[in-house]
Structure 1
Amino acid sequence: MIINKNLTNLRLELDNIDNKIAKLILQRIEIVKQIGNIKKQEKNNFYVPEREEEIFSRLSTLYPKLNPKIIKVIFTEIISASRSYEKIFNIAIKEHFLSKIATQNIFGSFCNTHVFNNINEIVSKDIDYLLIPLDVNYDNLVEINSNFLLLKKIVVENIEFYLFEKVQK
């Protein structure tokens, strides 16, 4: 098979760019580990949604030629992978066809999801966050509020989800 020399050269350029990206991700992970140690010492949250939104906004402003959705998807995964060196979150999700998509939109791929039907199923588990769709008839919202605090709302495919953070006791 004969490969065009230009194609080969362009692929080599891409390989060099990929190498640089991987090296930068490794540098990012080392810094994240340091931040994780500080967060542990100061008992701060590992997930700070405002910080992530700040990153997406800053990058979208700095690089207007990149679609903001592309920035969000790529950097959600980079942040998720980096954060996995600090902590991998356990997320309880209500059984709903968009729950896993919503979870991935928020936390990326590096988290564990636990599907539940009844709030009592998750109370005894080591759950960090709870994600429930607003369109589900959910009678135990008061019980959720005693164990979890509302952190943020996310919309996926016109369905509102509420993300709750477990209250640290």
Structure 2
Amino acid sequence: MIKITRDINKLRKEIDIIDKKIVRLILDRMDIVHQVGLTKSKDNSRIYVPEREIAIYKKLSDFSGLTSTEIQSFYTEIISFCRKLEGTLNVGIKSNALSFIGIKKIFGEYVNPIVINQFEELDLKSVKYILSDFSTETLEFIEKNNWYLINKINLNSDTLYLFSSYNNSVFESNDITYVLYDDILSKEYIKIKPNLFVNLILFKNLENFEKLNIKILGTIPCI
């Protein structure tokens, strides 16, 4: 029994050493992120870049052997902690438990939820994101303000969508583009009105959209 206790203490000391290395590296990452933030502030670049974060998860997945989803489950908080150096994001949400859970799942702990009853209440000078389900109100808001669909979060049987004044700029062949159809159904769709549907289309088909009467709402990077 004594030998086992000594072995555990030795292992715990090794864990302590590793933990200090991890924190030191996170501090180094924060320093570099701060430098990136200073550069972004000069050209007014966006702070939250979902396609960049997905690329990080994929690279770390290839490096570690863990899945991208497993990497995302804990790395979101590291990115969130570092992102606060660039600025805490204001995100408009409705007052319900699902929205509060969803906003933390996407952005991590360091995010500022702006709770509203209607999206028109938002000050768009300070709020560049909203998290919501698909509805007529949501659709009208993003069309009026020229916003884009940039991300989503699945919460059991529910899905919330992230909309922004910024558009995603980097895409891969397996990313999903959401488009607005009139009177057309595909395999996967979200019903907005009796004759109005949002559809999920593979990004590789996007080149054909110019020939059709289809409105592109935005593309979500696929993890």
Unaligned runs of 5+ in 1: none
Q: Is the 8 A contact 2:61 2:67 kept in 1?
A: yes
CA distance in 1, matches of 2:146, 2:157: 24
Question: What TM-score, normalized to structure 2?
Answer: 0.66
Offset of residue 146 of structure 1: 2.6
CA distance in 1, matches of 2:78, 2:9: 28
Q: Hey, which of these two has a bigger chunk of helix by percent?
A: 1
1:147 corresponds to:
145
1:130 matched to 2:139? The reply is no
Offset of residue 154 of structure 1: 1.2
Amino acid at match of 1:159: D
Amino acid at match of 2:137: D
Amino acid at match of 2:12: R
- Report the more deviating stretch, 90-99 or 77-86: 90-99
- Report the more deviating stretch, 39-48 or 24-33: 39-48
Q: Structure 1 vs Structure 2: percent identity of aligned residues?
A: 37
1:159 matched to 2:152? The reply is no
1:89 matched to 2:121? The reply is no
Secondary structure of the structure 2 residue equivalent to 1:139: helix
Per-residue CA shift, 1:20-68, capped at 9, x if unaligned?
A: 000000000000011001111122111111100000011111111x343
Amino acid at match of 1:107: F
Residues paired across the two proteins, number: 163
CA distance in 2, matches of 1:26, 1:150: 33
Per-residue CA shift, 1:114-166, capped at 9, x if unaligned?
A: 222212322367212111112xx443532343335113231412323221213
Per-residue CA shift, 1:96-119, capped at 9, x if unaligned?
A: 332122212211110111222212
Secondary structure of the structure 2 residue equivalent to 1:123: coil
1:20 corresponds to:
21
Amino acid at match of 1:154: K
- Report the more deviating stretch, 2-11 or 16-25: 2-11
RMSD: 2.1
Offset of residue 79 of structure 1: 0.6
| 1:44-83 alignment runs, 5 A limit | 44-64=45-65, 66-83=66-83
Secondary structure of the structure 2 residue equivalent to 1:91: strand
Question: What TM-score, normalized to structure 1?
Answer: 0.85
Amino acid at match of 1:129: Y
1:141–1:46 Cα change, 3 Å: same
Amino acid at match of 1:141: L
Offset of residue 84 of structure 1: 0.3
Secondary structure of the structure 2 residue equivalent to 1:161: strand
- Report the more deviating stretch, 74-83 or 114-123: 114-123
Q: Could you say which structure has the larger radius of gyration?
A: 2
1:35–1:125 Cα change, 3 Å: closer
Q: Is the 8 A contact 2:132 2:138 kept in 1?
A: no
